[in-house]
Amino acid sequence: MNRSLFLKILAGFVIVIVAMAGLTLLLSYRTIRNHHLETQREGLRLLAMGLRPAFSSALAEHDPARLDSLAKDLGLHTNSRITVVDPEGSVIADSWSNPAEMENHRTRPEIMRALRGEVGTSLRYSATLQEDLLYVAVPVGREGYVDGVLRVSLRLESIDVALAGLRNDILIIGSFVAILSLIGALLFSRSFSRPIGQLTAASRRVAAGDFDARVLLKGGGEVKELADSFNYMTDRVKSLFGELSDKSEELNGVVGTIQDGLLVLDKEGRIILSNPGFARIVGDEAVNGKFYWEVTRVPELDELVRTTTARRASSVREVPLGGRMYLCSGDFLSSREGVVLLIHDITDMKNMEKVKKDFIVNLSHELRTPLTAIKGFLETLQDEVTVDGQHYLGIVRRHTDRLANIVEDLLVLSELEDSGTELHIEKVDLKHLIEDVIHVFEPRVRERGLEMKLEAGEGGTVVSGDRFKLEQVFINLIDNAVKYTEQGGVVIRITADDANFLVAVEDTGTGIPEEHLSRIFERFYVVDKSRSKKVGGTGLGLSIVKHIILLHSGTVNVDSEPGKGTRFTVTIPASQHS
């Protein structure tokens, strides 16, 4: 590269020097020649003006012989050609040729101007002498009348001979200057390309990982500043690279200690980073550089990656791998257009959930029989106890009913959480379904002095879903709204957007404090335990609502303000398939 740069700079200087030298020589010679011609032209004009009195009387007397003799005599002494032309253009006398053999000169440029009373000049080829001549013609006459024209001319050959020596001197001087310029260009090219070559070599060393490379130049100037900047940049790169290496080692150490599986994929699905935790999960140490589907052929993982990439957002999914269950979260990397996967083993948690679920189901089934017996005996005792005993019997019956409701809700919730739960899909008109539910609550609403109304648009409100389970959703929501509303009422609104129906159940009750909103869909979670016992809540109704809506691929959200009321919004896709 150094030699190439040197040759390019030198070639540029050579072209410029040769071009400038050639133009200088050409322009200098042309300028000097033109100046010399102008000097000769002025000399011929002065000569013609000096000779004009000598030819004036001869022209006035119309004596051709005298004029020709005078022209030849003066031409010999002045070493120039002298020609006399009458007003008609005919040559009367000429110092170099026979006038009688010469053609008419009236159309000659210098003759035409002289006949008009001006001084005429011309530089052209002479047909008579067959060579280039410089002509100067002046009018000869008296009292404003032109008797003829006196023309003095000079061979250009004599001018060129005089300029030949000067041209050689200019050529020698120009060549000497060009040689000196080329030597200077050579030295400058070497002085400029050498530090550039050093910078290039040092850059290659830095690129190869040698951050101790330095460029030390003497003197000053921009190249020295460039070398100093390069050295400073190298120091900074070395420092930053050291910091980056330390952080990289620290990051690798952190990643290596993570027990969960970590996987980074590029946009094509190729593994560019993994940790030992993932290697233990898949039983393969050499996974980097492979496609993730070559390492784990699991449809759930493939679906997670596709969903994360398509949405360009985070996604979470349970993925079975090697006989164990993992919770896999995917995040989109916008810088690489790839995906980061974090795989956490939840097998023990899932087993524990299954044990808890089985325990609750078994306990609920076991409690059903004694609760049914207790209720039967309570009904038998109702007619046998005293009036004072009726009060205590009522308390027992109320708590027995609450316990029975909890058992029933637990069984329903366990059924909903079962992964094998199937929906009995049919066409369901939400408006008609909610109207039927409202009829069930009308006695309680009138008893409490509340108002309840349904607001729906003119369009259709038909969805595909499980009618019985959707009915459970709105029974629970409306039941809660009535329970916790002392005055005002309940409004159910049905609206629609592009692909969903939205059902809002809004009350004017006590409301829910903000710190409880994130947990109200959990099992047995109640905001006000004392009030829940009073109204007979089990703490499972909203959990049942959430699971049913999730089975219908919908969502349920809550907005509430203490003292003003609560609004539950259920979103159900307009088209639902099993």
Residues 47-77 have pLDDT tens digits of: 888 888 888 877 877 888 888 888 888 888 8
- Identify the pLDDT of residue 504: 92
Mean pLDDT across the chain, nearest whole number?
80
CB neighbourhood size of 362 (10 A)? 10
Query: Which tens digits make up the pLDDT trace of 135-154?
Result: 999 998 876 688 889 999 88
Is residue 531's pLDDT more than 60? no
Query: Which tens digits make up the pLDDT trace of 316-359?
Result: 888 888 788 888 888 888 877 888 888 888 888 877 867 776 66
* 127: Cβ contacts below 8 Å, ≥ 6 apart: 103
Band of residue 1 on the pLDDT scale cut at 50, 70, 90: very low
Instruction: Find tokens 């005919």 and name the residue.
Output: 90
Which amino acid, residue 347?
T
Buried b (16+ CB within 10 A) or exposed e, 537-550: bbbbbbbbbbbbbe
Is residue 21's pLDDT more than 80? no
**φ, ψ at 90 (rounded to 5°):** -80, 140
Band of residue 536 on the pLDDT scale cut at 50, 70, 90: low
In 61-113, the DSSP E strands lie at 81-85, 91-94
- Identify the pLDDT of residue 491: 92
- CB–CB of 269/288 below 8 Å? no
Bridge partners of residue 463, in order along the sequence: 428
Which pTM does this prediction carry? 0.44
* 485: Cβ contacts below 8 Å, ≥ 6 apart: 448, 450, 507, 508, 509, 510, 565
Closest CA to 65 of 149, 73, 87, 51: 73
- What are the Cα distances from residue 202, in Å, to 167, 219, 222, 233, 237? 52, 19, 18, 12, 13
Integer Cα distance of 158 and 125 in angstroms: 15
More confident residue, 106 or 210: 106
